[in-house]
Amino acid sequence: MNTIQPEVIQAYLNKHVTTPLYAHVETTNGAYATHNDPDFHNAGMFIRNVVIEYSIGQIKGHGPYRVGLKLDHGWLYVEGLTDFELHGDQLLLAGHDRLGRLACALHLDPKPLPQGATEVEDQ
């Protein structure tokens, strides 16, 4: 992945205003890491292949960055973004901590995203 270049991300967001996009949003404070502290409360969020259209798309900050997308009835907002990949009309934004662990992700694509896991596992 590359370090976020705000002007590249803003150009993508501007280009896709009112375009139906499939969205993947994920946040975690440690779902991919092992924690040996029984008092640690792990939290996260995952949503995939939700079709959105936004009227305003903005990237803000000086690194880590935040992206806000104004939807018909609210906002989709992801904060802590550090890296990106752009493949044609597919944009992947991710936020990694100092150790390189994933903290958040925002993936936008005019085509459906690969499905992956379909069930929530009980651990």
Q: What share of the chain is helix, strand, coil (3-state, %, to 5)?
A: 10, 50, 45
**Where do we find the tokens 């992945």?**
1
pLDDT score, position 44: 83
Closest by CA to 55, choosing from 92, 14, 12, 112, is 14
pLDDT of residue 98: 87
Q: Delineate the domains of the chain, giving CATH numbers in brackets.
A: 2-35+50-109 (2.70.180.10)
Q: Provide φ and ψ at 93, rounded to 5°.
A: -115, 140
Query: Which pLDDT score, from 0 to 100, does residue 101 have?
Result: 84
Q: Which residues of the chain have pLDDT under 70?
A: 30-37, 116-123
pLDDT attached to residue 18:
97
Distance separating alpha carbons of residues 106 and 52, to the nearest angstrom: 13
The model's pTM is 0.86
